Structure 1
């Protein structure tokens, strides 16, 4: 009765340590890629568990983006947990833009809770641009010259054709941003108003 190790000429006393070393190297490589993120988060005062980092990779979430966002949020004084950030990423959101928007809102003394920011982001709106427009109003040209029209043309009651351009200044109201008008909607509504005013 030959044992596999004896039949190949390699004793089990060599095979077992080699297998253990190979397993140890694989474990070190798997944990090693997360170790630098773990240490960086720990030193920055925004600890993220090593098991959490491995779990993020398994759930197809970028652990580097989560750790960087967690560090940014912690430094800015925002109390946002790792699980909240990960949930937002799993829902299809952009956690980096949300954190940057919340930091900008915090510095501008704008109340922007995590739930509101993530809802705006998941609705497909650019939350960072919304915060910036809330701080610095945006000027919109009507009609948009980038779309090929330089003026709005309308005919008055007396038959005179008028060519009109307008500039509209808008400021974002973050609380009503979800379901609110986009830039294209504003351009269309102002254009309709101009045509109606000229025709009446």
Structure 2
């Protein structure tokens, strides 16, 4: 079956467009032309093979052009492809290498790719190496020897250490070490007035400690931005200690009072017991007298004499009590 003379040219045009679309997708002709014009030697077959290897030519070719224009001769297509296939950020690495070259910083391609694969922003590291970065520390509270608390804020100027970016500690370690140094320097001061008069003494002492050892930064300066007087920690501790001593003394006094009350109650109980024994003994006296009368060991006259003696004793006791009361009235 022959195609209609009108439909056939349209069909040919559609097929040609599809073929061209496929061709330009797998063979980025315009990227090759851009590289050729820029002086980068790369063939259409290599661009086609990039597509087959799932490496985007739109990333590799512009990076090669940028490196070539910046005069970086040691960067090859294979190196960039290998870095991309290992999960690296090709454009960021090339930007960093160009910036390092312009700033006369020794940064080999292998070192830059290692930094990038370690998860650090190598381009930002180069920028920080050229333009130092300022890190503000949070408020750090420390106590001088006289017990006065000081609250200091510092500004740390750091520069990236390219050779220690892989495996080096980050900003958090720098802040922690600077805070520790501030606490140590304030704590060694005899009084807070010395620190307020010479806040730069803190910076000098902290810088001598070499706090940037093992980190990805080099500390250029530490400046005390602000310092305030806080609480009188020494007085507060003394008050707390005095209150604790008072509470201990009160507890011991309460313990002694409780023991004294217990001893008093025990003595009262013993006195009551003794009175009970006396009453019990007195109750036996009439029985003994009656038994003596029955047995003939005592006569009635002896019993009457005994009763008279008891009555005379009671009368004397009453007279003595009246005399004491009279004397009290006279003294009043």
TM-score category by the smaller chain?
0.7 to 0.9
Greater shift after overlay, 58-67 or 75-84? 58-67
Distance 1:25 1:125, change over 3 A: same
CA distance, structure 1, for counterparts of residue 13 and residue 130 of structure 2: 58
How many pairs were matched up? 180
Q: Which has the higher contact order (CA 8 A, sep 6+)?
A: 1
Question: By how many angstroms is 1:71 displaced?
Answer: 0.3
Alpha-carbon distance in structure 1 between the residues aligned to 2:11 and 2:52:
25
Root mean square deviation of aligned Cα: 2.4
Aligned residue in 2 for 1:120: 115
Q: Give the 3-state SS of the residue equivalent to 1:85 in structure 2.
A: helix
Give 1:172 shift. 1.7
Matches within 5 A, 1:2-151: 9=1, 25-33=17-25, 34-79=28-73, 80-143=75-138, 151=139
- What stretches of structure 2 of length at least 5 have no aligned partner? 4-9, 189-332
Secondary structure at 2:168's aligned position in 1?
coil
Looking at structure 1, the residues matched to 31 and 65 of structure 2 have their Cα atoms a distance apart, in angstroms, of 11
- In structure 2, distance between residues paired with 1:57 and 1:72: 21
Cα displacement (A) at 1:136: 1.8
- Structure holding more helix per residue: 2
Q: Deviations over 1:148-187 (max 9, x none)?
A: xxx1122334322211111111112212221112122211
Q: Using the alignment, how far apart are the partners of 2:171 and 2:15 within structure 1?
A: 57
In the superposition, the TM-score normalised over structure 2's length comes to: 0.50
Q: Could you state the TM-score of these two structures normalised by the residue count of structure 1?
A: 0.79
Q: Which residue pairs with 2:173 in the alignment?
A: 185
Greater Rg, structure 1 or structure 2?
A: 2
Are 2:157 and 1:162 aligned? Answer: no
* Cα 1:59–1:26 shift into 2, 3 Å: same
